[in-house]
Chain A
Amino acid sequence: MTEQLIEKIETMEKKHEKEKHQREKEYPKSSLTLKIYRANRRAGESPHYDRIEVPVQRWTTVLDALLYAKAYKDQSIGIRYSCRMASCGSCGMKINGIPRLACYTKVSELPGREITVEPLSNFPHIRDLVTDFSQFFAHHHNVEPYIQNDIADMQEKNKLTEFIQTPEDVDKYLQFSYCIKCGLCYSACPTVATDTQFAGPQALSQAYRYFIDNRDTAPKERLNLVDNRHGIWRCHFAGSCSAVCPKGVDPALGIQLLRGHLLGYSKNEKKVAELEERQKRD
């Protein structure tokens, strides 16, 4: 299994290297134009695009280009960013029409000499490239994204110990725990485009993450939370969420697996993780 995986990764890496070399051969770009969406509705500024020329190098990311534009050309550009390494999820935006992380998208990956950057759709717009994530976080809050365990006694401090989870138990939810709440999936989802009460792929995949975690003892309640008119059933597996996810979370997989439990394809019983026996201390 591991060997097959290694072989698969090596084949993919060779393919990516080849494509990269191909692009670099065609790439003597030293500058390109950023077409940036500008709008500030609260100040009465109507939407328009500003075109700003920025110098780029082989390794320049879209975020680098935007920050250059902000530093040297137009200080008023509104951008949200933080870690610059695809870890915080702050710099999500539409790049050439597709939701991507600006720090994780190299300009060399994009065709042509003009890159269009726009704010993420399906999020209320604040200014320029900045959007409001409150609704998104509220949907996440509503799925109760924390372990609920009635069995283990976690109140008394001297009884606190760890849950015993095998690597197989962890593998069931690990990839879903890699979610950085960047919102790209929410922006790409066709149901979120019209349904304001739909939780969105991020919240639903987190519902699965906690559902399948064997430290959680509230699976039935979690299923009830999503089994409603604007819940899990409004996902139609358009797969766009997984197509844009930068961390390999594959929210579509989580949602369909959770739905499998609702449909009766998968058994709902899971062996709840036990607390390790705490050794007596002298």
Chain B
Amino acid sequence: MEHLCSLGANNKKMAMLRESQIMKIHYITGVAAIFVVAVHIMMRIAIMPYGMSLEYENVIANYQNIPYIVLLESILVLVSIHGFNGLRVILLELRQSKKWEDGVTVLTIAAMIALIAYGTRTIIIANGLGFE
């Protein structure tokens, strides 16, 4: 037991989360995303005809509904985490070198944060627009 030599040891310095923790998050965000996306799609087709639900006034009205905003924000966060982690996994399998792996990790996290920020900006602005 003393002679433990791990596989792929070069990632240990970068890792704040173990791979098992990251993948558990991946599974949980995936399952949670199914529910929130399903509700989002239902809102588009069950309340009023699909075409009507895309009109400007109706969309803005949605953004005044606080639970709906919370739903949209959760979709944003859950799907971003799940999607960009999936991309990270695909890119890690494609090439293996310290530079590439560190770059992939940093870029996917940055892209995740950027997308969440951009989507949140839309929600805040649209919510503000409804008060005009």
**A and B in direct contact, judged by CB atoms within 8 A:** yes
Complex contact B7–A228 (CB within 8 A): yes
Within the complex, the shortest CB–CB distance from B99 to chain A, in Å, comes to 14
Q: Report the Cα distance A185→B11, complex, angstroms.
A: 26
Chain A positions 179-237 with a Cβ under 8 Å from a chain B Cβ: 191, 194-199, 218, 221, 224-231, 233-234
With A194-B94, A197-B8, A263-B24 as given contacts, are A229 and B1 in contact (CB-CB < 8 Å)? Answer: no
Is B8 within 8 A of A231, CB to CB? yes
The answer, among A142, A150, A194, A263, for a CB contact under 8 Å with B7, is A142
User: Which of B5, B7, B9 makes the CB contact (< 8 A) with A199?
Assistant: B7
Closest chain B residue to A229, Cβ basis? B11
Contacts of B6 in A (CB 8 A): 142, 224-225, 228
Q: A142-B5, A148-B1, A197-B8 are in contact. Are A228 and B19 (CB under 8 A)?
A: yes
Residues of chain B lying within 8 A (CB to CB) of residue A150: 1
Cα A67 to Cα B33 in complex, Å, equals 57
Q: Are B4 and A221 in touch, CB under 8 angstroms?
A: yes
Nearest neighbor of A234 in chain B, beta-carbon distance = B93
**A contact face: mostly helix, strand, loop, or mixed:** loop
Residues of B within 8 A of A197 (CB): 7-8, 96
The reply to whether the CB of A262 lies closer than 8 angstroms to some CB of chain B is yes
List B contacts of A142 (CB < 8 A): 5-7
How many chain B residues sit at the interface, stated as a range, is 20 to 34
Partner of A233, one of B1, B5, B23, B96: B23
Q: Which residues of B contact A229 (CB under 8 A)?
A: 8, 11, 15, 19, 92, 101
Select one of B5, B19, B94, B101 contacting A227, CB under 8 A.
B19
Kindly supply a per-residue 1/0 record for chain B positions 1-34, scoring 1 wherever the CB is within 8 Å of any chain A CB and 0 otherwise.
1011111110110010011101110000000000
- B89 is an interface residue with CB less than 8 A from chain A: yes
* Chain A CB within 10 Å, residue with most, of B3, B6, B93: B93
Residues of A within 8 A of B5 (CB): 142
Contact status B20-A227, CB under 8 Å: yes
Interface residues in chain A, defined as those with a beta carbon under 8 Å from any beta carbon in chain B: 139, 142-144, 148, 150, 191, 194-199, 218, 221, 224-231, 233-234, 262-263
Interchain Cβ contacts under 8 Å between A and B, 6 examples: A142-B7, A144-B3, A194-B94, A224-B4, A225-B4, A263-B20
Known: A139-B7, A142-B5, A262-B20. 17 other contacts (CB 8 A): A144-B4, A150-B1, A194-B94, A195-B93, A195-B96, A197-B8, A225-B6, A228-B8, A228-B9, A228-B11, A229-B11, A229-B92, A230-B11, A230-B92, A231-B19, A233-B19, A263-B24
